[in-house]
């Protein structure tokens, strides 16, 4: 009896899933937005880079805000012929404390990102920490949205950063907000290689 009930439930579930899979027949480049205060935004983006590399896809990464910090993935991706990366040539904004300089550096990095977003040989573009550039008004949101809207039809884009604007949320196809429940740093554990950097 219990067995039969279980089987019927699984059959209904299978039917529902198969129907949903058949309905999802649109094939297009999507925008994934990863936001929120919890850890895991940039590393999730890098997880998708890893997936895309498995299919030999071409990837371009523009790193805003924390460009001078070398991470394990920077070292690894530098060896990947299918990945090109551009780094914003400034550290944390609270280190530089120079708005004009930071704005210039953001604009320079955005110029490179625009090239990626115009290049249909690039399958996936990662705009890491882009949200801050909008929030600090280093870049024009309207210009970013316009470029994203006019990118090659099959090109995927991943945007990361805390406090994503409402317009970015509206534009993106997939949006995840990562919630901060606990972070080791607050227990005075220093940033660990392979986990934080
Ligand atoms: P990650 O790169 O680890 O996926 P992230 O992109 O979600 O993190 P960022 O806000 O870009 O988070 O911060 C990058 C660095 O700060 C990482 O080393 C990350 O572990 C750390 N970090 C992220 N969230 C927190 C937090 N809530 N408290 C303290 N440190 C954090
Ligand atoms: Mg990040």
Q: What is the pLDDT of residues 111-158, one digit of tens each?
A: 999 999 999 999 999 999 999 999 999 999 999 999 999 999 999 999
Mutational pocket test of ligand 1: of 38, 39, 135, 177, the residue with most ligand atoms within 8 Å of the beta carbon: 39
Query: Is residue 46 a part of any domain in this protein?
Result: yes
Which residue, among 185, 109, 125, 117, has the nearest Cα to 157 in the 3D structure? 125
Query: Is residue 12 a part of any domain in this protein?
Result: no
User: Does residue 104 contact residue 137 with C-beta atoms inside 8 Å?
Assistant: no
The one-character DSSP state at 178 is -
**Nearest-5° angle of CA 126, CA 70, CA 81?**
55
Closest-lying ligand 1 atom to the alpha carbon of residue 41 = 7
Query: Is residue 91 a part of any domain in this protein?
Result: yes
Domain residue limits at 145: 28-187
Q: What is the CATH number of the domain that holds 178?
A: 3.40.50.300
Query: Is residue 88 a part of any domain in this protein?
Result: yes
Q: Sort 34 into a burial class: Cβ within 10 Å, 0-12 / 13-18 / 19+.
A: buried
pLDDT score of 70? 82
Question: Number of structural domains, the chain?
Answer: 1
Query: Is residue 13 a part of any domain in this protein?
Result: no
User: Token match 């551009």: residue?
Assistant: 86
Closest-lying ligand 1 atom to the alpha carbon of residue 65 = 11
Please check the confidence at residue 1 and state whether its pLDDT lies above 70. no
Query: Is residue 8 a part of any domain in this protein?
Result: no
Structure tokens at 96: 């530089």
Query: Is residue 10 a part of any domain in this protein?
Result: no
Query: Is residue 48 a part of any domain in this protein?
Result: yes
pLDDT score of 93? 56
pTM exceeds 0.85, yes or no: yes
User: Which residues are within 8 A (CB) of 196 and not within 5 positions of it... i.e. 6 or more apart?
Assistant: 39, 185
């Amino acid at each position: 009896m219990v067995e039969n009930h279980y089987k019927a439930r699984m059959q209904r579930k299978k039917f529902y899933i198969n129907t949903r899979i058949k309905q999802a027949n649109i094939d297009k480049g999507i925008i994934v937005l990863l936001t929120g205060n919890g850890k895991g935004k940039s590393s999730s983006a890098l997880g998708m880079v890893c997936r895309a590399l498995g299919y030999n896809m071409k990837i371009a990464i523009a790193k805003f805000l924390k460009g001078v910090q070398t991470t394990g993935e920077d070292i690894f991706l530098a060896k990947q012929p299918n990945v090109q990366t551009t780094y914003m040539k400034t550290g944390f904004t609270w280190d530089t404390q120079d708005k004009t300089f930071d704005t210039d550096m953001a604009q320079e990095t955005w110029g490179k990102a625009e090239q990626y977003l115009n290049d249909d040989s690039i399958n996936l573009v990662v705009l890491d920490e882009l949200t801050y550039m909008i929030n600090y008004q280093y870049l024009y949101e309207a210009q970013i949205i316009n470029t994203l809207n006019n990118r090659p039809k099959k090109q995927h884009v991943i945007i990361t950063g805390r406090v994503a604007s409402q317009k970015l949320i509206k534009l993106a196809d997939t949006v995840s907000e990562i919630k901060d429940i606990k972070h080791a740093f607050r227990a005075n554990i220093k940033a660990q290689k392979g986990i934080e950097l």
